[in-house]
């Protein structure tokens, strides 16, 4: 795990975050009364296993991590990212569950209009080939507040930010307060010969 780094408030206590068993780096940026907390993939050669929170034996998905590769078109456009590709021998579309948990800070008042931004890239616009699915939970509830499916990017060489709005986070009259925890399940799907890539995840709120 890696701690939060904070350029503006270096003495604020660090917190930690978790995507599966992947190590990530967290950043917080004050913007007047707006706040953003972002998570970016970090550390090459990260150990990845489906033993902790994966779907089990049928989730035969390899993970490769690429960071700090300035000559890479993908890295230039996506930043640091994790890429997913199926293992050899898999005949159908495979997926893997990635879990991101964000505890709302003590200064949280409300979500920004665009509350969550997730940077993704898919090699194909055909959702039977590559796509992302996102489930959103409020901690303590086993039922997803919202499911967003069939997310793709228009250009296989250009990443896109996919936004979750404050209105969507209020689905089912859901309310949020400091100390609540938002849980994302980000699910990349791919077939042999194709990849999907996950970059940063950023949460925006009003303080």
Q: Is 56 left (phi over 0), alpha (psi -120 to 50) or beta?
A: left
In Å, the largest CA–CA distance within the chain is 52
- How many whole angstroms separate alpha carbon 130 and alpha carbon 38? 25
> What's the domain count of the chain?
1
Asked if residue 63 has pLDDT above 60, the reply is no
pLDDT tens digit string along 31-58? Answer: 558 888 888 776 554 444 444 334 444 4
- What CATH number did the domain enclosing 10 receive? 2.60.120.260
User: Residue 126 is part of which domain span?
Assistant: 4-206
Cα distances (angstroms) measured from residue 21 to each of 24, 39, 41 = 9, 14, 12
Bridge partners for 147 per DSSP: 135
Average pLDDT score, the chain? 74
Q: Cα angle at 110 between 108 and 111, to 5 degrees?
A: 105
pLDDT by residue (tens digit) across 183-198?
998 988 888 888 888 8
Which DSSP symbol is given to 24? E
pLDDT confidence bin for 28, thresholds 50/70/90: low
């Amino acid at each position: 795990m890696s701690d939060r780094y904070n350029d503006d408030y270096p003495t604020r206590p660090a917190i930690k975050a978790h995507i599966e068993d992947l190590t990530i780096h967290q950043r917080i940026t004050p913007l007047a009364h707006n706040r953003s907390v972002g998570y970016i993939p970090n550390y090459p050669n990260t150990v990845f296993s489906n033993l902790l929170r994966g779907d089990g034996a049928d989730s035969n998905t390899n993970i490769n991590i690429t960071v700090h590769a300035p000559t890479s078109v993908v890295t230039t456009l996506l930043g640091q990212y994790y890429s997913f590709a199926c293992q050899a021998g898999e005949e159908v579309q495979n997926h893997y569950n990635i879990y991101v948990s964000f505890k709302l800070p003590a200064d949280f008042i409300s979500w920004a209009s665009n509350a969550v931004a997730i940077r993704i890239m898919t090699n194909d616009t055909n959702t039977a080939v590559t796509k992302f699915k996102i489930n959103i939970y409020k901690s303590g509830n086993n039922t997803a507040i919202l499911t967003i499916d069939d997310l793709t990017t228009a250009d296989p060489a250009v990443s896109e930010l996919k936004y979750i709005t404050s209105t969507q986070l209020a689905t089912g009259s859901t309310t949020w307060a400091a100390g609540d925890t938002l849980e994302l399940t980000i699910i990349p799907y791919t077939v042999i010969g194709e990849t999907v890539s996950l970059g940063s995840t950023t949460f925006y709120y009003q303080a």
